Amino acid sequence: MIIDGEDFKLDLLFYHRRLHRLIAIDLKLGRFKAEYKGQMELYLRWLEQNEMEPGEDTPLGLLLCTEGSEEQIELLQLDKAGIKVAQYMTELPSREVLQRQIQKSLAAAKARLDNFEEGDA
């Protein structure tokens, strides 16, 4: 992408047929940084202006980082901007570490579901 005469490079760009939208993916080494939100928003608005076809929904962004930063992600309200953040591993962890991470993820998902259900009551 060339914006204001400057080159910007998105790592991956997919089209999701069922969602009818572009999915922009940016890979980051290290911990999530707040500045990544602005960069992804720039990419998404450029894609919206230059690559979207009639009938498509607005593009979504996915930031893949080797480390999370849950508090920053929550404070930045990335969901409202159409951006998601996920962690990826550069090497396969031990079985014990993997089991702990799965249990942690399941507990977090259950807590979110419980909070959602309480909001409906």
What is the CB-side half-sphere exposure of residue 101 using CA atoms within 13 A? 12
Range with the poorest average pLDDT among 8-22, 31-45, 62-76: 62-76
pLDDT score at 92: 83
Distance from C-alpha of 73 to C-alpha of 82, rounded to nearest angstrom: 13
pLDDT in tens, 90-107: 788 889 988 998 999 899
DSSP string, 87-109: E--SSPPPHHHHHHHHHHHHHHH
Alpha-carbon span 115 to 112, nearest angstrom: 5
* Overall pTM surpassing 0.85 (yes/no): no
- Which residue in 77, 84, 68, 70 sits closest to 31, CA to CA? 68
Beta partners for residue 13, in sequence order:
24
Q: What is the pLDDT of residue 121?
A: 55
